[in-house]
Amino acid sequence: MSKIKDPFAGERLKETPFHPRQSALNLRNAWSSWNGYLFADCYYEAEYEYFCIRNQCGTYDITPMQKYEISGADAEAMLNRMVTRDISKLRKNRVTYVCWCTDEGRMIDDGTIFMLTCGSPSLAWLRKSSFGYKDVTIKDLSDTVAALSFQGPTSCEVLKKMGLSKIDTLKPFGIKHFKFKGGKLMVSRTGFTGDLGYELWIDPKLALDLWDALYAAGEDFGIQPYGETATNMARLEAGFIMPEMEFNEALKTIHFQHDQTPLELDLGWLVDFKKPHFNGRNALLREKEKGTEYMLTKLDIQGNKPAEESFLYSDKACTKQIGYVTSAMWSPVVKANIALAMIKTKHLDGDIWAEINYVKELRQLSKMAKCTVMKKPFWAPARAKATPPGPY
Amino acid sequence: MTKQYDTIIIGAGHNGLVCAAYLAKKGQKVLLLEAADTLGGLASTREFHPGFKASVAHTINQFSSKIVGDLNLAAYGFKSGKPMQSVGLSEDGQHVSIANGKVTGVGQSDIDAFARYTKMMQRYAKAMAGFSLQTIPPIGNNSFSEVLTFAKMGLKIRGLGREDMRELLRIISLPARDLMDENFDNPILKAMLSWDGLIGSKMAPRSPNNTVLMMLFRMIGEHRGAHALPVGGMDGLINALSNALTSSGAEIRTSAPVGQVLVNRSKNGLSAVGVILQNGEEFKAQRIVSAVDPKQTFLDLVGVDNLEIEFTNRINRLRSDGYVAKLHLALDGLPDFNGINIPNERMIIAPEMDAIEFAFDDAKYGEASSEPVMEVMLPSLRDQSLAPEGKHVLSAHIMYVPYNRKGGWTKKAKDQLAKNAIKTLSQYAPGIEKQIAHAELLTPADIAESHLVTGGHWHHGEFALDQMMMMRPTYEAAQYKTPIPGLYLASAGCHPGGGIMGGPGHNAAHEILK
Ligand SMILES: Cc1cc2nc3c(=O)[nH]c(=O)nc-3n(C[C@H](O)[C@H](O)[C@H](O)COP(=O)(O)OP(=O)(O)OC[C@H]3O[C@@H](n4cnc5c(N)ncnc54)[C@H](O)[C@@H]3O)c2cc1C
């Protein structure tokens, strides 16, 4: 067979190291892209995958997530100036969730620090942040580490069965290292579903071995791959934010203040004003003193029609618009019509009405539904925080 | 143990001195710290050969008369000199001279055009003069006083009348070349008039940007654009300033290089509370004023760990590579310039605008020009203390000499540049090469080291549209305050920019005393 040069070579999406297994299971051929990688929206059916996460366990390929290793004597100082949280207290083998802002306090991205991971490429910002520090090296590990998110109530049991000893003693946001097929497997108890779950980090060469070991151990525990759509459902129940849904990355925002601050995103707990200096501190302090204009709010909405893209009003007659829904769904586990919404802070204590547009057999319909503000995540089972998480 | 000051000022260039003098006059307890053993920074007079002295800046054409009055500098010995002629040298001795607002050595049409042109430029300079001693508000704040400042600026320009305003807007960003070609015929006249719009900048006659603004900026002084030297030379001004401030009780320490601005970090954030000298000595004050250029101030003295990320990168990006070198000659006697009796005026060696342009072309690609263009003075003719009796000092600004020479500033490269410059001089002053007892050449890289100015830049940072007014040095530090409470800026790197004018020092003091 003659080799024909692919004229679109540079345009094709990359395949992650797990691709051979995942493509075999992607019955619907439902692919989209994430950071240049081919990436599953769903494998068979989003609802089905969602129930796997909530009732059994599932894997979600997070290889496309951006990963950076920041090292050198000044690495901590550099990161501590960049992120809003105080990471000088971060102990070895612990992960912390952080966000970082522009000088104006607008949120650029969120991520976790153990190596630094985040949803979007951030090398330029990291480089800018490291300018002036004498001893900092930034390495982009994005293509050199394969990663699987492994979530769900049976996930701990499966890892145990796979032979990861004492995995049940790993605390949330903890990290453990294991030997695996002559290589190293790093496991962190982290995830994006609000439930018990882990993230597995491995050399791409061992990715398929890991997959096979995991699926062999998980056979009786209902293991399934899940895609973006199911992830998005699970994270909404957990109350987690998503770029381009809840927030617009500040460096990609064109219109003035069409991005958000961590305070508006209800991430005030990530902003440590006791820390003398971090990027955006002055701006955020001013905002805190003045009060945010908007606040990301969890809503429980009457009825069962998802309030997708709804406008919110302070009255049923829609005379005063006070915000908009960013994500919405009917939540099967909570059995509630839930949403995240940006609402003008000063209207949070009053009535909130959602104008829900929906389609019924090609008819465009609309109705008003009363909303109740929820303080806690919609879904937060005890096992997500318990150590050991207990059998399921 | 450590003494508490109201204000510590880092850097005793003329701006540091002016700022200190204003604060001390208001009763503040002021400490002025200078790295060098002389005062005045780029205007300081230093011995470059036994018995021979010179200063990097060699004439004054825009020092603010308001500052002279406010600080009562006359009482401390300041006497502004008579305006000098500017002479555009011609190899054959047919020079073009400008004195008292009149040009000689050119044809009648140029004489008439020059009268018209000068009047017009004087009107523009007058309309703009006020801006330099004023803080330019940030954009988008819209507080009443800030809107008022802009409104007043607008009115001043509107006050020019419709015709003038239209013309100003038309020429404001013209390359010097177009403006000159529109008005004049004589090539030497064109070259010497464009000189003041170009020197100190990374710009040549064909560059559009701020040449015209620069010309106007240099016309706001007492002599409306003519250059002068105070009685007693540069030191006449620097000594008067230092006398004024010590008599108000301010302390000055020379040979005291600051290594670090002490920033207090607490749960209340950051604040500048003192300085640490390179020898470890510590001084505390309520506020710190840096009259050192912005890049060194933030990147070296404050440190990026105390700054925000985008701000840091804006400071780092400041364009601050100098393009003017200095040549100081210790001469055994008075050089003999063709067609000039006593060379005690300001002489420009640039036979036509293209000579300037071609010198720039070399520099733009990292080479010093082999046919440099120059501004030449003999300061010892005006201040005898600068050289032993009967001997003289020649001081020349050489354009264009890149801070970043391709291949670096080797001894060979420096020698070559000095040789080229002296060769050019000898075309106008034959035999001068035999009178030279010693030659000191300071490239921008040398000036960066000897005078502690980033890039050896004339203005501490390019003075151009992107780095002017509320953008100078960059937003968030353009009103003399900085993002760090208690830290202020006061050097040429701030609005209104460089040259011996005192604007930044004056404006910074005004903000502090507000
Ligand atoms: C080659 C050249 C020729 C020029 N010729 C003229 C001219 O003829 N006429 C004219 O009007 N202008 C001229 N200029 C421009 C003018 O000299 C400057 O714009 C002006 O002197 C700047 O004054 P300043 O006080 O802001 O800064 P500077 O004069 O640069 O003073 C800054 C001071 O800070 C000190 N310093 C730096 N770091 C530290 C530290 N860490 N601790 C303590 N002290 C420190 C320096 O030693 C220096 O004394 C020339 C500039 C150059 C480069």
* Pick from B269, B310, B312: CB nearest A132: B312
| A282 part of contact set with chain B, CB < 8 Å | yes
Predicted confidence at residue B232, as pLDDT, reads 92
With both helix axes pointing from N to C terminus, report the angle between B14-25 and B503-513 in degrees, rounded to the nearest 10: 30
Close Cβ partners of B18 (under 8 Å, ≥ 6 residues apart): B67, B71, B241, B502, B505, B506, B509
pLDDT < 50 stretches in chain A: none
Instruction: For residue A128, list chain B residues with Cβ-Cβ distance below 8 A.
Output: 309-310, 312-313
Burial B46-83 (b: 16+ CB within 10 A, else e): bebbeebbbbbbbbbbbbbeebbebbebeebbbebbeb
Pure H helices in A1-154: 19-25, 46-55, 75-82, 123-130
Q: Is residue A359 a contact partner of residue A365, using CB atoms and an 8 Å limit?
A: yes
Tell me which residue has its CA closest to atom 21 in ligand 1.
Answer: B42
Is residue B15 within 6 Å of ligand 1 at its C-beta? yes
Q: Do A128 and B309 touch (CB under 8 A)?
A: yes
Distance CA B376, CA A11 (A): 61
pLDDT, tens digit (0-9, with 9 covering 90-100), for B51-79:
999 999 999 998 999 999 999 999 999 99
Distance CA B180, CA B195 (A): 11
Distance CA B252, CA B237 (A): 16
Query: Which of B42, B441, B472 to mutate to test ligand 1, by most ligand atoms within 8 A of the CB atom?
Result: B42
- B245 C-alpha to ligand 1 centroid (Å): 19
Return phi, psi of residue B50, to 5°: -50, 120
Domain with CATH 3.30.1360.120 in chain A: 3-63+145-238
Is residue B500 within 6 Å of ligand 1 at its C-beta? yes
Q: Do B313 and A274 touch (CB under 8 A)?
A: no
Give the DSSP letter of residue B388.
S
Contact pairs from chain A to chain B, CB under 8 Å: 53
Q: Which amino acid is at A282?
A: N
In the numeric block, which tokens belong to residue A288? 């805190």
Predicted confidence at residue A2, as pLDDT, reads 59
Q: Is residue B326 a contact partner of residue B396, using CB atoms and an 8 Å limit?
A: yes
Q: What domains appear along chain B, each with residue ranges and CATH number?
A: 4-41+233-318+459-513 (3.50.50.60), 110-217 (no CATH)
Shortest CA gap B269–chain A (Å) = 4
| B271 part of contact set with chain A, CB < 8 Å | no
Return the residue in B267, B308, B313, B487 with the most chain A beta carbons within 10 A, the one to mutate for interface testing. Answer: B308
Q: Which of B66, B84, B154, B89 is nearest to B502 (CA)?
A: B66
Q: pLDDT 10s per residue in chain B (514 long)?
A: 466 899 999 999 999 999 999 999 999 999 999 999 999 999 999 999 999 999 999 999 989 999 999 999 999 999 988 999 999 999 999 999 999 999 999 999 999 999 999 999 999 999 888 888 999 988 876 677 777 777 787 778 788 888 998 999 999 999 999 999 999 999 999 999 999 999 999 999 999 999 999 999 999 888 888 999 999 999 999 999 999 999 999 999 999 999 999 999 999 999 999 999 999 999 999 999 999 999 999 999 999 999 999 999 999 999 999 999 999 999 999 999 999 999 999 999 999 999 999 999 999 999 999 999 999 999 999 999 999 999 999 999 999 999 999 999 999 999 999 999 999 999 999 999 999 999 999 999 999 999 999 999 999 999 999 999 999 999 999 999 999 999 999 999 999 999 999 999 999 999 999 9
Q: Do B299 and A128 touch (CB under 8 A)?
A: no
| CA distances, A355 to each of A169, A345, A368, A384, B47 (Å) | 47, 19, 5, 34, 82
Distance CA B386, CA B371 (A): 29
DSSP β-bridge partners for residue A384: none
| A84 part of contact set with chain B, CB < 8 Å | no
Predicted confidence at residue B1, as pLDDT, reads 46
- Specify the ligand 1 atom closest to the Cα of B62: 11
Instruction: For residue B306, list chain A residues with Cβ-Cβ distance below 8 A.
Output: 277
User: What is the three-class DSSP state of A153?
Assistant: coil
What is the distance between the terminal CA atoms of chain A, rounded to a whole angstrom? 53
Return the residue in A103, A128, A274, A281 with the most chain B beta carbons within 10 A, the one to mutate for interface testing. Answer: A103
Domain with CATH 2.40.30.110 in chain A: 294-373
Name the pTM for this structure: 0.94
Is residue B10 within 6 Å of ligand 1 at its C-beta? yes
Is residue B468 within 6 Å of ligand 1 at its C-beta? no
Distance CA A312, CA A356 (A): 9
In the numeric block, which tokens belong to residue A359? 């389609």
Q: Is residue A331 a contact partner of residue A301, using CB atoms and an 8 Å limit?
A: no
Predicted confidence at residue B128, as pLDDT, reads 86
DSSP β-bridge partners for residue A61: A148
Q: Is residue A249 a contact partner of residue A259, using CB atoms and an 8 Å limit?
A: yes
CATH architecture of A3-63+145-238: 2-Layer Sandwich (3.30)
CATH superfamily for domain A294-373: Aminomethyltransferase beta-barrel domains (2.40.30.110)
Tell me which residue has its CA closest to atom 45 in ligand 1.
Answer: B11
What one-character-per-residue DSSP string does A239-280 give?
Answer: T---BTTTB--GGG--STT-S--TTTTT-GGG--TTSS--TT
Q: Do A128 and B306 touch (CB under 8 A)?
A: no
| B313 part of contact set with chain A, CB < 8 Å | yes
- B77 C-alpha to ligand 1 centroid (Å): 22
Chain B residue nearest residue A74, CA to CA: B305
Predicted confidence at residue B65, as pLDDT, reads 92
User: What is the three-class DSSP state of B317?
Assistant: helix
Predicted confidence at residue A254, as pLDDT, reads 93
Chain B residue nearest residue A274, CA to CA: B267
In the numeric block, which tokens belong to residue B45? 């007079």
Distance CA B446, CA B453 (A): 10
Instruction: Match 């450590």 to its residue by tokens.
Output: B2
| B266 part of contact set with chain A, CB < 8 Å | yes
